[in-house]
Chains A and B, each alone.
Chain A
Amino acid sequence: MAEWLCLIGGTLFLLTGIVIFAIELYGAYHYHYVLNRMHMAAFGDTFGIGVSLLGLMIINGVNFTSLKMLLVILFLWCASPVSSHLIARLEVATNEELETHMEVEQE
């Protein structure tokens, strides 16, 4: 019984992750501006991978492999937002026509 519950729960999480990846892919090609696309990519990198690996961890049960997956999630949650932040920073630093895309607060 417990095994079935684990399987069903894990599968639900995995399916959610796949849906999130689909949304990410759609968004990355739907939007045209770099910051919107970066947002969609970062969304899949953190939330999508987190949910899918959580599903795999539930199916796998408590063992060393699950711990490794947890570490992968932690690593990606540290690294992916930082890289998105750097892309955004570079865009702000190099794009001279930033006002055409968004409202810019004047300091």
Chain B
Amino acid sequence: MSRRKSEKEYEKTFACHFFRWLDGEKDPFIGQVEMQQQEAFREGEGDAERRLQEKNILLNQIYGRKKSRSIRNLERFYKVASVVFCGILIYLLLLTVSFLPPIGVAQRPINNEVSARYIEKGLQETGAINIVSGMILDYRAFDTLGESHVLFVATVTVLILLRMDKGKKDYAGVSLEEVEANDRRYEPKNDAILQMAAYLLVPVIIIFGVYVILNGHLGPGGGFSGGAIIGAGLILYLNAFGFEKTERFFTEKTYKRISFCSLSFYCIAKSYSFYTGANHIESIIPKGTPGAILSSGLILPLNIAVGLVVACTMYAFYVMFRKGGF
């Protein structure tokens, strides 16, 4: 503290504020930025009773506990089995750790010929200039197959949780039609500026996404990033023009068909290439000249399949959280 200033004066200076902030004594956000504290949870009259009632309804009607004895037995077995299964899993994983090689030894399995081969012969064997694409869609295509299925399973899970069927009124007293009517209360409704921007930007965004997907084997990009760009373009279009416009070309049926076709095409194509590779049969799919747009064998179609799945998944997530159905 400076000797020339009194303590009261010093408290007003910038240095004092700065060092207090540095020491964490003062939060610069408190009182400065608009923030609202969450209200404390307060239980009203009859809330506990209602909660108990709802729990009983859930147990009796949905899980059918009263209906049969076998389900109750299964529940007990499930609890015991889950604990036993977790115990076995933990034991196995710890056992594997004890077999791992020590750290810092040159002969570790990670320093093997696999990565050297990827770098030396990747271009020749996969035909892709972008070696990352060559790895994820050729050498390790099985892994990418799992990833695209994870996306599909995630959508299905969200569908189970948030889906609303037409005509039913079971969802906390609200039907899908009411949700649709409420949908645009806070959303921009027929906003001329947003519509003009979307009119200009959406084609550009979608074309850029297509470019990223088709160039996946030639440069940075690929199915995942390009699909995300296309999905963002679709979401922008939906925000600007509403569900009536998007449902002309993208409904639940479209989602089903695109996902099914892409994932099954991926499975069949990679099954073929694994089969030929394992049995040392010459594959009929030509590699082409590296650098051309139609080259590198299966990587380009697989990129397209992955991109379609990713774009549909992003759009379906958004629609599901906004409205609860297509």
Interface residues of A (CB under 8 A from B): 29, 32-34, 75, 78-79, 82, 85-86, 89-90, 93-94
Contacts and interface: CB of A to CB of B under 8 A. Distances in A.
A55 to B, nearest CB: 25
Given A86-B194, A89-B191, A75 B201 contact: yes
B255 to A, nearest CB: 27
Shortest 3 CB-CB distances between A and B: which pairs?
A82-B197, A85-B193, A78-B197
A90 B244 CA distance: 22
B178 interface: no
Q: Bin chain B's interface residue count.
A: 10 to 19
Given A29-B32, A33-B34, A34-B34, A93 B197 contact: no
Given A29-B32, A32-B33, A33-B34, A86 B200 contact: no
Given A32-B32, A75-B201, A93 B194 contact: no
B34 A86 contact: no
A62 B32 CA distance: 46
Contacts of B191: 85-86, 89
A75 B197 CA distance: 10
Contacts of B201: 75, 78-79
7 contacts: A32-B32, A33-B34, A34-B34, A78-B200, A82-B197, A86-B188, A90-B186
A65 to B, nearest CB: 14
B197 A89 contact: no
